């Protein structure tokens, strides 16, 4: 099918690239003409595993192209994926102006019937508003627009894998024909008839994705409800870690045993510095706001958000207690991205820690495999190193904020010899307390003895 993608951020690019890899013809557009020029020249503006590989192969096969002319992309496609940003306003409410802008463009440029699919994360009822806006903005002659919601459940860092091997594909529609078109778009994924870049064409047998057809409102709610619930699990584990610290207990033992109950599940119960990124913090806020707008007090999510913000306070208290005077101390900050395998630093807990350390007058030596250039642009006052051992040299303290593989592999015996003080504050419970103490480190983590 001929598809277009509006918005070449991480969701748009992964969606476009994977659907092209699955055999469709995809044309991508973005208002950022520099981004389009970079993509046209073969560049990849974000770091996401396997993305550059599939962008290259689909480009060679002539199945993906880019244009800054949104009209061209809209006219060329039977189905249009809207993948634009919905950032939070100061109130926490989602800013839908980019979606509104897409509606205007599609209404003005369409020269035939279009299936308009919202993939951006949006509050419930956006699809219905989008449908109204498309008819209201259409000036020159009648064109039939069908609107569908198709929320994405991709995780940064494993987005390509998640796209090709989803647990579920949710499509919210108003009419059966839209569901049929979406089933056709996803048929290669549902039937596993695409060349899988991860498994070199031969995917291991495993459960196939459920294709769920719902109303548009339900599909939109499923997205916010899923992200908020995962965020809630994380905050729950973080409160448990505080309880363990006060009562004596090991949060890892507690959450491990809890997670063996299939009704609970073991994922997203990892205590630490809390959640960041451009999804959970903003989606929790947007969901609270949406609920309040219809008179529902989503208290439990307000607590989720509060607990998460307090994680940084708790961590800073520990740093200040351990270092006594922070001003002038050499601090090695290991990890900047909001999680491993991405260069995304939006709402990254590490950045808040970095900001507060700089404000306290520390000499911060930060290390991250992918996120240095983005961070450096925001915080030129810190020192940056690709090599963790260079960041750790002469350090008064090491702070682990993102659990990248290279940090798992640090030889702490070697690093400890070059540090001014063997002090490690582990914000992600990455290392074994007994092993670190065995190496002579003063070691702090969350909720563990």
CB of residue 439 to ligand UGA, shortest distance in Å: 25
Strand partners, 95: none
Instruction: Classify residue 241 as left (phi > 0), alpha (psi -120 to 50) or beta.
Output: alpha
In the bound state with ligand UGA, the residue whose beta carbon lies nearer, of 156 and 426, is 156
In the bound state with ligand UGA, the residue whose beta carbon lies nearer, of 275 and 443, is 275
- Say which of 83, 196, 244, 279 is annotated catalytic: 279
In the bound state with ligand UGA, the residue whose beta carbon lies nearer, of 15 and 227, is 227
Q: In Å, how far from its chain's centre is CA 353?
A: 19
What is the DSSP code (8-state) at residue 175? Answer: S
Catalytic-residue membership of 196: no
Q: Judge residue 193's burial from the number of C-beta atoms within 10 Å of its C-beta, 0-12 exposed, 13-18 middle, 19 or more buried.
A: exposed
CB of residue 88 to ligand UGA, shortest distance in Å: 13
CB of residue 338 to ligand UGA, shortest distance in Å: 4
CB of residue 387 to ligand UGA, shortest distance in Å: 23
Coil vs helix vs strand at 252: helix
What is the Cα–Cα distance from 449 to 249, expressed in whole angstroms?
7
Alpha-carbon Rg for the chain in angstroms: 23
CB of residue 154 to ligand UGA, shortest distance in Å: 5
In the bound state with ligand UGA, the residue whose beta carbon lies nearer, of 70 and 401, is 401
Sheet strand arrangement including 442-444 = 383-385, 363-367, 330-334, 397-400, 423-426, 442-444
Strand partners, 116: 80, 147
What is the Cα–Cα distance from 264 to 257, expressed in whole angstroms?
10
| Residues in contact with ligand UGA by the rule CB under 6 A | 121, 152-156, 227, 230, 234, 268-270, 272, 274-277, 279-280, 338-339
In the bound state with ligand UGA, the residue whose beta carbon lies nearer, of 74 and 354, is 354
Catalytic residue list:
279
């Amino acid at each position: 099918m001929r598809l277009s993608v509006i918005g070449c951020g991480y969701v748009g690019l992964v969606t476009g690239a994977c659907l092209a890899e699955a055999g469709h013809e995809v044309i991508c557009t973005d208002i950022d003409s520099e981004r389009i020029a970079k993509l046209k020249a073969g560049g990849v503006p974000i770091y996401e595993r396997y993305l550059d590989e599939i962008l290259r192969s689909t480009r060679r096969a002539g199945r993906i192209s880019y244009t800054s002319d949104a009209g061209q992309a809209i006219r060329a496609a039977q189905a249009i994926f809207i993948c634009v940003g919905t950032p939070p306003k100061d109130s926490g409410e989602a800013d839908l102006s980019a979606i509104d802008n897409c509606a205007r463009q599609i209404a003005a440029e369409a020269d035939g019937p279009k299936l308009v699919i919202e993939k951006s994360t949006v509050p419930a009822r956006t699809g219905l508003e989008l449908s109204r806006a498309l008819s209201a903005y259409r000036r020159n002659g009648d064109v039939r627009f069908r609107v569908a919601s198709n929320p994405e459940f991709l995780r940064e860092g494993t987005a390509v894998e998640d796209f090709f091997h989803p647990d579920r594909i949710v499509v919210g529609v108003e009419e059966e024909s839209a569901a049929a078109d979406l089933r056709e778009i996803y048929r290669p994924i549902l039937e596993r008839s695409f060349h899988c870049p991860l498994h070199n064409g031969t995917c291991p047998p495993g459960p196939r994705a459920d294709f769920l057809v719902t109303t548009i409102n339900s599909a939109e709610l499923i997205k916010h409800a899923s992200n908020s619930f995962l965020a809630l699990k994380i905050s729950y584990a973080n409160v448990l870690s505080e309880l363990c610290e006060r009562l004596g207990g090991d949060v890892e033992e507690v959450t491990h045993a809890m997670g063996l109950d299939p009704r609970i599940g073991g994922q997203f119960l990892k205590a630490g510095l809390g959640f960041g990124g451009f999804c959970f913090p903003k989606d929790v806020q947007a969901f609270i706001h949406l609920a309040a707008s219809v008179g529902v007090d989503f208290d439990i999510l307000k607590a989720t958000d509060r607990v998460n913000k307090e994680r940084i306070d708790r961590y800073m208290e520990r740093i200040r207690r351990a270092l006594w005077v922070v001003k002038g101390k050499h601090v090695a900050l290991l990890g900047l991205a909001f999680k491993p395998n991405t260069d995304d630093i939006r709402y990254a807990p590490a950045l808040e820690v970095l900001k507060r350390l700089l404000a306290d007058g520390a000499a911060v030596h930060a290390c991250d495999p992918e996120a240095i250039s983005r961070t450096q642009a925001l915080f030129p006052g810190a020192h940056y190193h690709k090599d963790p051992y260079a960041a750790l040299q002469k350090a008064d303290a090491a702070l682990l904020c993102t659990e990248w593989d290279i940090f798992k592999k640090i030889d702490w015996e070697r690093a400890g010899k070059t540090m001014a003080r063997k002090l490690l504050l582990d914000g992600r419970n990455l290392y074994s307390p007994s092993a670190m103490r065995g190496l002579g480190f003063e070691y702090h983590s969350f909720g563990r003895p």
